[in-house]
Structure 1
Amino acid sequence: MDQVRTAIEVEKVQILPAENDDHGGVVVKLEEHMDSDVFLTLLKTSMSQWTIQGKKGVWIKLPTHLVNLVEPAVKEGFCYHHAESDYLMLVKWIPKTTNTIPANASHRVGVGAVVLNHKREMLVVQEKNGILRGKGIWKIPTGVIDVGEELFDGAKREVKEETGIDTEFVEILAFRQSHKVYFEKSDLFFVCMMRPLSFDIQIQELEIEAAKWMPLEEVAAQPSAEKESLLKYITDLCIAKVERDYSGFSPHPVTSFFSDQPSHLYFNKKEN
């Protein structure tokens, strides 16, 4: 009888609006303005009820116009998990067990586009900004993948934006992982082989100082391409690819248990 009474009382208690997640926790999504004192009262009551219910992680998604609720949430033991331009995500682990909430995204994903024409010339650029500014180094077009963007689409976009050249994706030649690059995050960099569909260069003047088609051997002869540099390995792979001694990774559509969004598995599918 006591258990029945407790269940009825729990249903009558006013708590924050929340949805169950797939891992035994709840997600609070607030949109309308709320006084911080009212929020604190509801939060304390909610945490008590979620503890009784055996919930694990509690997530609070706060849009920027509800910034007044950040301080009371933090004082109740919530931590920052991640932030985007329009919201902040806070989280708290309830059980007295090991916290299994995954950390925020650990990697940034970048692409470099290797574009070779029929003359064995590589499309290269000199950057107007950043650490390479004014150093006279010719490099391949590079950039960061946007949210929801495929690697091959990102490579085509970056080449078009920086040089005005239209391209067709061929395959991934290689990838590099490095650490503590931007905001202490790790970095995955995919080197993509591209086939040019146009040849007249029109540089993006905001970021690119110059761009041109350079003989592959001249790119490889730059001082910056010596020893074990990234550029040296890229040019070596290009030469091997041209001479048909190397085969990279091509995308193949796959389905997933975790999302209904399209995805691709990259692997080496040798030609018969």
Structure 2
Amino acid sequence: MQRSLSRLSPLRVANNLFLPLRLLPPRHGSAALSLARRIPLQFGIQARPRAAVRRAAVGSMSRPVDSASPAAEAVAAAVEDKVRLFSSVEDHYGGVIVEMKEAMDSATFVSMLRASISHWREQGKRGVWIKLPIELVNLVEAAVAEGFWYHHAEPKYLMLVYWIPQSAHTIPANATHRVGVGVVVMNEKDEVLVVQEKTGIFRGTGVWKFPTGVVDEGEDICAAAVREVKEETGIDAEFVEVLGFRQSHQSFFQKSDLFFVCLLRPLSFDIQKQDVEIEAAQWMPFEEYAAQPFCQKNELVKYIIEMCSAKKKGKYSGFTPVLTSSFTEQKNYLYLDRTGISGSGSK
């Protein structure tokens, strides 16, 4: 029997291993185990730890098997060489991240997922992140059925997460805030740059307002303020300071909102408005802007007007950006009132 098994090609053995091994009598178990261990691994198959595979193999058989028997050892070794695990990288908090790239059916996905989770559980891993590209949307339902839940979504992928320990999870929530800017651009004539919008809550109201917008991913607040002014009015400007900011909640799809009021100095003056979103744009005397009924009724806008008035009189200091590093070598902006600050902390 051992000689006949040794004449089988490795590929044939790999494809037909389970049936012959289940039919082997116990006395041939050692030969089968030796054969299974000699199966080459150059088929792109990642082996599972023997203890985890043995439990999976024994638990999946239709009749109870003594895990200590030679036949059970042979089956476990065969499964060990056949079952694939997902490739993963470790995160910083004792978990793993899987970036899915290979197309597969749901059954194959679930089989690999269960084997991988068993493997990660033995390693003491905690959170499991699966980054699922939009092309593999067919696997979402299978992952959710296995206990994964949605963490966040981007245009090209969905991030799913799973908690292995039998305890309350410590997975951090998805981003909770959106960041916006409102931009005051004031020239030397005490005129402010204002617009009327074609869309949004001010459409058709006749209200003149400051340019506003949302900060893009990876964009600094100071850069976003300059960009929004350029996009909406064609005016080039330089950032001066943050006059103040407001936090609100339950704003955009139940997310919180951080809104930064920024002061800019114009570098050009000829307006070229954006036609898609902007109905009109102009330079308006500051006092005329402040006298609008809307400005007099809105509490937030009234505070902005007071800040601007105090700033014109030299009685108010906002927060200027200082480029600095913190816990890494990456540079970030710290916004602060530089009055009385030597700047010795910056390089």
Q: Tell me which interval the TM-score lies in, with the shorter structure as reference length.
A: over 0.9
- Of 334, 337, 343, 1:265 maps to 334
1:138 equivalenced with 2:208 (yes/no): yes
1:61 to 113, 131, 141: 131
Query: How many residue pairs get matched?
Result: 266
- C-alpha contact (below 8 Å) 1:219/1:235 kept by paired residues: no
CA distance in 2, matches of 1:270, 1:100: 41
- Give the C-alpha shift of residue 261 in structure 1: 3.5
Asked if 1:123 corresponds to 2:200, the answer is no
Deviates more, 1:157-166 or 1:247-256: 247-256
Q: Which residue does 1:158 correspond to in 2? A: 228
Q: Which SS does the other structure have where 2:317 is aligned? A: coil
Q: CA deviation digits over 1:155-176, x for unaligned, max 9?
A: 0000000001000000000001
Counterpart-to-counterpart distance in 2, 1:9 and 1:18: 20
Q: In the alignment, what sits opposite 2:219?
A: 149
SS in 2 for 1:111: strand
For 1:195, what is the secondary structure of its paired residue? strand
Mean CA deviation greater in 11-20 or 29-38: 11-20
- Would the alpha carbon gap of residues 100 and 76 (structure 1) be closer, same or farther in structure 2, given more than 3 Å must change? same
Q: Which residues of structure 2 form unaligned runs of 5+?
A: 1-47, 54-79, 342-347
Residue 41 of structure 1: aligned partner: 111
TM-score between both structures, scaled by the size of structure 2: 0.74
User: 1:110 touches 1:189 (CA, 8 Å); kept in 2?
Assistant: yes
Aligned to 2:267: 197
Q: 1:221 aligns with which of 291, 305, 321?
A: 291
Matched letter for residue 105 of structure 1: A
Opposite residue 339 of structure 2, the aligned amino acid is K
2:305 equivalent among 227, 235, 238? 235
- Supply the distance in 2 between the matched residues of 1:97 and 1:171 (Cα, whole angstroms): 46
> Take 2:253 and 2:94, find their aligned partners in 1: how far apart are those partners?
31
Q: Give the Cα–Cα distance (whole angstroms) in 1 for the partners of residues 225 and 233 of structure 2.
A: 12
Q: 1:220 touches 1:235 (CA, 8 Å); kept in 2?
A: yes
Can you list the C-alpha shifts for 1:35-85, whole angstroms capped at 9, x where unaligned? 211010000111111112211110000001011111110000100000000
Contact 1:251 1:266 in 2 (8 A): yes
Tell me which residue corresponds to 1:96: 166
Q: Which amino acid aligns with 2:160?
A: L
1-side partners of 2:143 and 2:324: how far apart?
41
Q: From the superposition, tell whether residues 146 and 228 of structure 1 become closer, same or farther in structure 2 (CA, over 3 Å).
A: same
User: How many angstroms does 1:262 deviate by?
Assistant: 2.5
Deviations for 1:111-164, whole angstroms, at most 9, x for unmatched residues? Answer: 111000101011000101011100011110000011111111100000000001
Residue 208 of structure 1 aligns to which amino acid in structure 2? I
1:228 CA drift (Å): 5.1
Which is higher, the Rg of structure 1 or of structure 2? 2
Following the alignment from structure 1 to structure 2, what is the Cα–Cα distance between the partners of residues 151 and 198? 21
Give the whole-Å Cα distance in 2 for the aligned partners of 1:271 and 1:217.
31
Cα gap change, 1:120 to 1:184, in 2 (>3 Å)? same
Segments of 5+ residues of structure 1 without an aligned counterpart are 1-5
Could you state the TM-score of these two structures normalised by the residue count of structure 1?
Answer: 0.93
How well do the aligned residues superpose, as a CA RMSD in angstroms?
1.7
Paired amino acid for 2:337: N
Alpha-carbon distance in structure 1 between the residues aligned to 2:155 and 2:298: 39
**Which residue in the other structure is 1:27 paired with?**
97
- Are the equivalent residues in 1 in contact too, given 2:152–2:174 (CA < 8 A)? yes
Matched position secondary structure for 2:275: coil
Would you say the 8 A contact 2:52–2:118 is kept in 1?
no
Q: Secondary structure at the match of 1:179?
A: strand
Q: Which amino acid aligns with 1:100?
A: T
Alignment-mate amino acid for residue 150 of structure 1? D
- Are positions 1:244 and 2:314 aligned together? yes
Cα distance in 2 between the residues matched to 1:222 and 1:236: 14
- Aligned residue type for 1:242: K
* Further displaced range: 7-16 or 79-88: 7-16
Question: Match of 1:3?
Answer: none
**Runs of 4+ in structure 1 displaced over 3 angstroms?**
6-13
Question: What is the aligned partner in structure 2 of residue 72 from structure 1?
Answer: 142
Q: Tell me the equivalent position of 2:12.
A: none
2:278 maps to a residue whose letter is I
